[in-house]
Amino acid sequence: MLYFVLILAGFAGTRILTPYFKDMICESGMVRKNYKEDPIPVSMGMSFLPLMLVNCAIILYFEKYEFVGTYMFAVMAMSFAGIIDDTMGNRSSSGFKGHFKALFKGKLTTGAFKALFGGLVALFASIPISTGVLDMIINTLLIALFTNFFNLMDLRPGRAIKVYFTSCAAVFPFIPNDIRLLAVGSISSVMGYFPEDIKARAMMGDAGSNVLGVSIGMLVALGLGGGAKMGALIFLVLVHLIAEKYSITKMIEGNRLLDYVDKIGR
């Protein structure tokens, strides 16, 4: 019954609120050209937050799980960092190397702020859910790198959310029931927004991709064992190393299967 309530609240609530967020963002002038040069509202990922907060409140009321507050703090803090980058960022520097190279020269980019702030959020969220120093380090890296991983994925309509759904499906069978409730509470809200993203009617921006990343990072940190965590961490490190040298989009477009899946629904 609780699963049904979370799904209904997250999906229906986000579908209802999305047009209001679009109007608010457009009226504020937060419109940016997408990869097709069409002007659309950006930072729409903030529309995930109200119903994710509602669903976490429902879980906390009925189950009293201590980690729910930590989870929601991490989600909201990472979304805040994404909103800063969406609203104030410029694209003169890109990638970890570019942002930190600028920082060493005395220039703080929004990308560097997002990386540093995101790392601190990941550390803060990891402390109460870790069993020791090594586990805390691994959890911190997982949360931080998953967050940036979804930034890398969010370059075409629907891509990051497809990867998010796939990631949730991959971890869902292996995490405890209490952690599954968190996943359902988040997935339902993202599903409510998904039609806007896949049809390129709105851009969730880092405000949204950060939410997807930190959500998966927290699920993995909370629900999986040490071996699975290390496997995920190795995967993330490899992806980030590749992304510093090559275009993820070009790699996807160069693979028939990945390109086909990437374009479904557009």
- Angle at which helices 67-88 and 49-63 pack, to 10 degrees? 170
SS (H, E, C) the chain: CHHHHHHHHHHHHHHHHHHHHHHHHHHCCCEEECCCCCEEECCHHHHHHHHHHHHHHHHHHHHCCCHHHHHHHHHHHHHHHHHHHHHHCCCCCCHHHHHHHHHHCCCCCHHHHHHHHHHHHHHHHHHHHCCCHHHHHHHHHHHHHHHHHHHHHCCCCCHHHHHHHHHHHHHHHHCCHHHHHHHHHHHHHHHHHHHHHHCCCCCCHHHHHHHHHHHHHHHHHHHCCHHHHHHHHHHHHHHHHHHHHCCHHHHHHCCHHHHHHHHCCC
Neighbour tally for 234: CB within 10 Å: 10
**Distance between the two ends of the chain, CA-based, in angstroms?**
34
Distance of alpha carbon 206 from alpha carbon 32, whole angstroms? 13
In sequence order, the β-bridge partners of residue 71 are none
Q: Is 154 marked as binding a ligand?
A: no
Q: Is 139 marked as binding a ligand?
A: no
| Annotated binding residues | 151, 206
| Annotated binding residues for Mg(2+) | 151, 206
